[in-house]
Amino acid sequence: MRILQCCLIIAVLALVVTACGAPTAAPAPAPTQPPAAPTAVPAAPTKASEPTKAAAAPTAAPAPTTAPTSAPAAPGQLPRNETLYVGGFQWGPPATFNPLAGVPGWPCNNIHEQVYETLFAFNQITGNLDPLLAKEYKFTDATTIVITLQDGTKWQDGKPLTSEDVVYTFSLAKTYKDLVYSDFWRYVAEMTATGDRTIQLKLDTKVVNPGIVRQRLAATRVLPKHIWTEREKSGTALSQIVDMNPVGSGPFKIQTASAERVALVRNDDYWGKTVYGLPAPKYIVHPIFKSNDDGNLAFQRGELDFMQQFTPQIWLMWEQKKLPVGTWFKQEPYHVPGGIPMMHINTSKKGLDNVKVRRAIAYSINYPLIAQTAMSRYSTPAQSSLILPTGGEAKFFNADQVKNLGWEYSPAKGKEILEKDLGAKKGADGIYVLPDGTRLGPWKVITPYGWTDWMTALALVSQSAKENGIDINTEFPEQPVVTSRVRNGDFELALFAITASTPAAPWQRLRDMLDDRDVPDRGTQAFWNYGRFKPPAGTYELLDKAAAATDEATQKQLFAQLDKIFIENIPGIGLMYRPLEFYEFNESVWTGFPTSENPWAPPMHQQAGIKILYKIKSIAR
């Protein structure tokens, strides 16, 4: 047995090494959801929230032939002491900077705040919405929100940014249903500009969900009405408009964009300089590499200052190579957990429809080994909860409930459930058979080919399950095949994403696993509850109450009750934690990045991470 386990570990390490040479996988295309289905994540999910994909390195753009420090992003060389080099967000030449497009170029993709800004910026550490274009929001009653803009907000062309621009931006999604934030209008009945600086929202009293509304307020980039009303007249779908010279409200403008790099220049006339000051770097350059290896090498050389991509064994850079490199934590897990890759269970399959069998499977999984190998020590062992134990969700994590009702790696407890509780007996092949003749397997567990960290995790799941008398085998189809099968419920077990950290978490994650309302039968695409789990009576009411709750004490109580339903029924098993973003910095040129020991800003490149640009300092200056 030890020989077999050693062989498995060697194979696992080989997969991890393979993953090191490719960029983080591009996220699966965001589904076009009906207005009734809240979007679980922003339109373009953070790349770090998706598994590392070994075989999907974009090849359209060649890697720079010279190091970023020597290749100019504009006529004349950019001064190194004024230029911040970043990486991990752009893997090919940008085709457009239109934030409504399906795949806009950095920094108009995801929720970067350099060019276009949101009203608020989500802070992963606190779970709060930090001020940005808006200074505050207040609930004047249970279903009314009043938003107040900062003073002096204006567009980069000098025109004022007012509440009319905000209302116009959100109203676009009422007219154009293909926009990813169209679900906003499922939860908001009315949005009105009540003055140049104030906006009033009336929530839909039939579906009260302030968490989803908060998420959209922090994820939707505000657009200039005077520019986009003209674009509406063109007859071209707004998401198809090519815009290489975007006009936003943020502290940077696009300077140049090519197949080699995207360069930004600071907007010294930024409206926010009286509120926030100006960012320290005058320029930001994102070189376009063809693989993680190229980016990691540039990072080690100090040619990248701030990076978001999978870097194996990053701690060796400071422990052995003595480089001025850092992450949020100096010790394991180095990064803040931001998501829970979930092994979804098709609860209609014979054998898997038995909750005690599902619990025995949960006890059989070696979570510490998954964290050590598949996640390269960037995860602590996953716990049996849908609530993240750290960051902004930590206040909702019920450690006692998880300890008393949950599971951990314990083959002995799994064996006890199978033999004593279920009366199962092992056949000649070592696989358990229930008294009614149901053999525990073979069941296939799927995840996309090339997502090597997830493939590694499932290799360990299969191995430990078989060692404990449960026949689970891996299958790795291509990503589009997996996505289709999972959404259509065509699987037995599947490792697939659920909602990561957002202003609406952990409610969205609980909804993803426990709510079968608006979930179609197998054979039709679903966007949550892929296993078609049928929740016990009372679950809908708890979900609705939790969605509408605004005070922390009530939320904590309701989230704990919902998490208990998950723990007791096991519609899925979380295998690991993944960071929302890989947060890595090299202080060869720029210093003062926040860490867990000096947490003046969150470990984020996007959203509230924009604060980092204001306080870092150039050594040369």
Residues 6+ apart with CB under 8 A from 322: none
Rounded Cα distance between 522 and 491, Å, is: 10
| pLDDT per residue as tens digits for the range 49-107 | 333 333 333 233 333 333 333 333 343 489 999 999 999 999 889 999 999 998 899 99
Residue 343 has pLDDT above 50, yes or no: yes
Rounded Cα distance between 362 and 571, Å, is: 11
Lowest mean pLDDT among 59-68, 191-200, 354-363: 59-68
| pLDDT per residue as tens digits for the range 217-259 | 999 999 999 999 999 999 899 999 999 999 999 999 999 999 9
Output the pLDDT for position 344.
Answer: 98
Strand partners, 290: none
| pLDDT per residue as tens digits for the range 266-323 | 999 999 999 999 999 999 999 999 887 899 999 999 999 999 988 889 999 999 999 9
Residue 139 has pLDDT above 70, yes or no: yes
Output the pLDDT for position 300.
Answer: 95
**pTM of the full structure:** 0.80
What is the b/e burial string over 39-59, where b = at least 16 CB atoms within 10 angstroms of the residue's CB?
Answer: bbbbbbbbbbbbbbbbebbbe
CB-based contact 338:500 (threshold 8 Å): yes
Kindly state the average pLDDT of the residues 114-139.
Answer: 96
Rounded Cα distance between 485 and 79, Å, is: 51
Q: What DSSP assignment string belongs to 247-285? A: --SSSEEEEEE-SSEEEEEE-TT-GGGGTT---S-SEEE
Distance of CA 58 to the CA centre of its chain: 20
Kindly state the average pLDDT of the residues 471-482.
Answer: 94
What sections of 176-267 are H helices per DSSP?
184-187, 210-219, 225-232
Output the pLDDT for position 10.
Answer: 43
Q: Which two tokens stand for residue 34?
A: 């009906």
Lowest mean pLDDT among 58-67, 328-337, 389-398, 569-578: 58-67
| pLDDT per residue as tens digits for the range 541-570 | 999 999 999 899 999 999 999 999 999 999
pLDDT > 90: percent of the chain = 79
Output the pLDDT for position 41.
Answer: 31
For the purposes of burial, counting CB atoms within 10 Å of the CB of 241, is it exposed (0-12), middle (13-18) or buried (19 or more)? middle
Residue 427, number of CB atoms within 10 A of its CB: 13
Kindly state the average pLDDT of the residues 393-414.
Answer: 97
Q: What values do phi and psi take at 387, rounded to 5?
A: -110, 130
CB-based contact 446:462 (threshold 8 Å): no
442 upstream amide cis, omega within 30 of 0: yes
Distance of CA 508 to the CA centre of its chain: 13
Q: What values do phi and psi take at 210, rounded to 5?
A: -65, -25
Residue 25 has pLDDT above 90, yes or no: no
Output the pLDDT for position 621.
Answer: 61
pLDDT > 70: percent of the chain = 88
Rounded Cα distance between 560 and 555, Å, is: 8
Average pLDDT for the chain = 88
Q: Which two tokens stand for residue 582?
A: 């890989």
Residue 46 has pLDDT above 70, yes or no: no
What sections of 468-586 are H helices per DSSP?
479-487, 507-514, 539-548, 552-569
Residues 6+ apart with CB under 8 A from 432: 418, 424, 425, 426, 439, 440, 469, 470
For the purposes of burial, counting CB atoms within 10 Å of the CB of 346, is it exposed (0-12), middle (13-18) or buried (19 or more)? buried
548 closest CA partner among 144, 142, 188: 142
Distance of CA 213 to the CA centre of its chain: 18
Kindly state the average pLDDT of the residues 318-341.
Answer: 96
Lowest mean pLDDT among 25-34, 263-272, 295-304, 435-444: 25-34
CB-based contact 143:519 (threshold 8 Å): no
Residues 6+ apart with CB under 8 A from 7: none
Output the pLDDT for position 518.
Answer: 86
Q: What values do phi and psi take at 65, rounded to 5?
A: -85, -15
Instruction: Give CB contacts under 8 A, 24+ apart, made by 367-370.
Output: 367/408, 367/409, 367/575, 367/576, 368/409, 369/9, 369/460, 370/456, 370/457, 370/460, 370/461, 370/575, 370/576
Kindly state the average pLDDT of the residues 582-599.
Answer: 97
Output the pLDDT for position 310.
Answer: 85
261 closest CA partner among 81, 115, 78, 101: 78
Residue 113 has pLDDT above 70, yes or no: yes
Q: Is 294 helix (H, G, I), strand (E, B) or coil?
A: helix
